[in-house]
């Protein structure tokens, strides 16, 4: 059972990173194909509201992981939940900083 958990602990992040890299690569190929055909790829607008949304989601996921693993008594429960939780807090803070700069 512990071997299966070890394998999953390595496989899940690897699969996520692979999917992210594949999405970036396919987006790049699409933009290069548009340029080759003489089309202008659309420029993505910077939307700070996305930072708030992703920050709240990540903070919620981190909190849920902390609470869930606490009741299972998993040894490293705090670290497993703090990583996404603190990423969420960082995204929320970056939203607030961006919003404050936009007002000025």
Q: Which domain holds residue 56?
A: 45-104
Residue at token pair 């202008």? 40
pLDDT in the model for residue 4: 78
Residues 40 and 64 in one domain: no
pLDDT in the model for residue 22: 96
pLDDT in the model for residue 104: 66
Give the separation between CA 16 and CA 101, rounded to whole angstroms.
Answer: 33
pLDDT in the model for residue 77: 64
pLDDT-flagged residues of the chain (< 70):
1, 74-77, 104
Residues 68 and 18 in one domain: no
pLDDT in the model for residue 56: 92
Residues 59 and 36 in one domain: no
Closest to 46 (Cα-Cα) out of 100, 101, 104, 98: 98
Residues 38 and 56 in one domain: no
Instruction: Confirm whether pTM is higher than 0.75.
Output: no
Number of domains in the chain: 2
Please list, in sequence order, all residues whose beta carbon lies within 8 angstroms of the beta carbon of residue 49, skipping any fewer than 6 positions away.
95
């Amino acid at each position: 059972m512990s071997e299966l958990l070890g394998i999953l602990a390595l496989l899940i992040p690897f699969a996520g990173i692979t999917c992210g890299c594949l999405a970036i690569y396919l987006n790049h190929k699409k933009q290069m194909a548009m340029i080759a055909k003489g089309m202008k790829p659309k420029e993505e607008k910077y939307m700070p509201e996305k930072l708030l949304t992703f920050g709240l989601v990540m903070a919620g996921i981190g909190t849920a992981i902390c609470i869930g693993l606490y009741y299972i008594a998993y040894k490293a429960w705090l670290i497993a939940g703090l990583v996404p939780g603190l990423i969420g807090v960082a995204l929320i803070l970056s939203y607030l900083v961006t919003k404050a700069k936009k007002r000025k």
